[in-house]
């Protein structure tokens, strides 16, 4: 076979076809950068299709000022997922469809079913080794998500539990008592749906995010989740128990159930397999060596969201952090699209269209003072 068929060059390669990859790709098109491709190991928005059936976006979708009359979950100006789907909180399938429509409208160069196994930094550019062929480029933007990389080893015996991201629908669990380990958004989402199904639910959390009044939903519960919990009927509320200062350090299988050991010394017995909602690992573990990792697990980036280890490799999406700010929601990380796009276009000798960049920058004026979470969050 001709080796040329197993190799492809492009000026820029975006890895990941979620909101970060599709949003950045759409901006490239608007700026006149055409020689790029987007690689995804599945399909556009595939992460959102893996959400539990009942799971919805936390941030509300509706047209608003500040980003071209756009809502918080849009990745392109003049679009509104909330308006398009007549829903303030979209399901995973709806949001995946929104991303597919963006990709189709801009005719984004997407190659599906391509899993990046390794990236080599060359003297000039990069070589990407995948399950399909070898790719080379001058620049790489890593836009992989997190949901498909659940943290399954947060404590001893985690393998004896079920991660909430592996649930297809909460309607499958009825008339029993379930323990949920983790009290942030995914844990409370699970608690809400299980309680609505008539189950007894106990949430174990080392903190108490349901009591935190911080306005950032990465630290405290989002208003959407708080409202749902408050609106539970009286019977449902009696079936839900929230236990703070309940840090789990081990879960083991016992006769006819599971033993949940707390750092306080208490041991709880569960007849059902506990759920864990302890967050997600970064997709960056697949390219670990190309980034400098701080002792606390943060990634050191330049002010252009570029790796400090492999020049020309940029990061887009929820893993981006600058000092105390983590851009872990769509409305946060989309503000970095213009930063990356302008830098890459400049280095490629492409004069970016300032009017387009300015439209994206206008979305960020009210976000400058946002602070976010520490490593305990599930962004």
Q: How confident is the model at residue 215 (pLDDT cuts 50, 70, 90)?
A: low
**DSSP state string for 119-137:** EEE-SSSEEEEESS-EEEE
Residue 224: pLDDT over 50 = yes
In 3-state terms, what secondary structure has residue 220? coil
Q: Where are the beta strands (DSSP E) in 153-266?
A: 162-163, 177-181, 200-204, 240-243, 248-254, 257-262
**Exposure of 130 in the CB half-sphere (CA atoms within 13 A):** 23
Q: How confident is the model at residue 355 (pLDDT cuts 50, 70, 90)?
A: confident
- State mean pLDDT over 104-130: 95
pLDDT of residue 4: 57
pLDDT of residue 325: 78
The model's pTM: 0.88
Q: What percent of the chain has pLDDT over 90?
A: 63
What's the alpha-carbon Rg for the chain, to the nearest Å?
A: 22
In 3-state terms, what secondary structure has residue 211? helix
Instruction: Report how far apart, in Å, the C-alpha atoms of 239 and of each of 182, 183, 197, 198, 371 are.
Output: 17, 16, 11, 8, 34
Residue 51: pLDDT over 80 = yes
- Contact residues for 241 (Cβ-Cβ < 8 A; gap 6+): 201, 202, 203
- Contact residues for 143 (Cβ-Cβ < 8 A; gap 6+): 14, 15, 16, 17, 18, 20, 21, 24, 315, 316, 317
In 3-state terms, what secondary structure has residue 330? helix
Q: What mean pLDDT value characterizes the chain? A: 87
Phi, psi angles (nearest 5°) of residue 179: -100, 135
Torsion, Cα of 55, 58, 63, 69 (10° steps): -120
Residue 241: pLDDT over 60 = yes
Residue 379: pLDDT over 50 = no
Among 12-16, 224-228, 372-376, which is the least confidently predicted range? 372-376
- Give the bridge partners for 227, in sequence order: none
**pLDDT tens-place string over residues 162-182:** 999 999 999 999 889 999 999
pLDDT of residue 377: 37
- State mean pLDDT over 248-275: 95
Among 18-32, 48-62, 365-379, which is the least confidently predicted range? 365-379
For each of the domains in the chain, give its residue range(s) and CATH number, in order of start: 3-149+280-367 (3.50.50.60), 158-276 (3.50.50.60)
Residue 229: pLDDT over 80 = yes
């Amino acid at each position: 076979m001709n080796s040329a068929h197993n190799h492809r060059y492009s000026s820029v390669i975006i890895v990941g076809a979620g909101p970060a990859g599709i949003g950045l790709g759409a901006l490239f098109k608007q700026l006149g950068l055409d020689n790029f491709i987007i690689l995804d190991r599945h399909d556009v928005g595939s992460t959102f299709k893996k959400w539990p059936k009942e799971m919805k976006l936390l941030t509300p979708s509706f047209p608003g000022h500040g980003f071209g009359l756009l809502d918080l979950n849009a990745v392109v100006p003049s679009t509104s997922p909330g308006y398009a789907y007549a829903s303030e909180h979209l399901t995973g399938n709806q949001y995946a469809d929104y991303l597919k429509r963006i990709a189709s409208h801009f005719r984004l160069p997407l190659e599906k079913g391509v899993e990046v196994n390794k990236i080599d930094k060359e003297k000039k550019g990069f070589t990407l080794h995948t399950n399909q062929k070898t790719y080379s480029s001058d620049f790489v933007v890593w836009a992989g998500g997190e949901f498909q990389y659940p943290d399954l080893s947060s404590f001893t015996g985690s393998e004896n539990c079920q991660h909430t991201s592996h649930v297809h629908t909460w309607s499958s669990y009825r008339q029993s008592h379930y323990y949920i380990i983790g009290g942030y958004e995914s844990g409370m989402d699970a608690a809400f749906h299980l309680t609505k199904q008539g189950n007894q639910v106990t949430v174990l959390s080392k903190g108490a995010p349901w009591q935190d009044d911080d306005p950032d939903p990465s630290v405290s519960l989002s208003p959407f989740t708080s409202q749902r919990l408050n609106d539970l009927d009286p019977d449902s509320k009696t079936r839900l128990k929230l236990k703070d200062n309940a840090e789990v350090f081990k879960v083991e299988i016992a006769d006819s159930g599971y033993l949940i050991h707390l750092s306080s010394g208490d041991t709880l017995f569960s007849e059902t397999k506990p759920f864990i909602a302890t967050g997600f690992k970064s997709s960056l573990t697949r390219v670990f060596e190309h980034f400098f990792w701080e002792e606390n697990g943060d990634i050191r980036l330049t002010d252009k969201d570029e790796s400090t280890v492999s020049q020309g490799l940029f990061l887009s999406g929820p893993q981006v952090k600058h000092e105390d700010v983590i851009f872990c929601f769509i409305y946060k990380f989309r503000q970095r699209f213009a930063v990356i796009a302008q830098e890459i276009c400049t280095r490629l000798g492409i004069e970016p269209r300032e009017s387009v960049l300015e439209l994206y920058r206008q979305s960020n004026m009210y976000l400058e003072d946002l602070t976010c979470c520490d490593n305990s969050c599930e962004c």
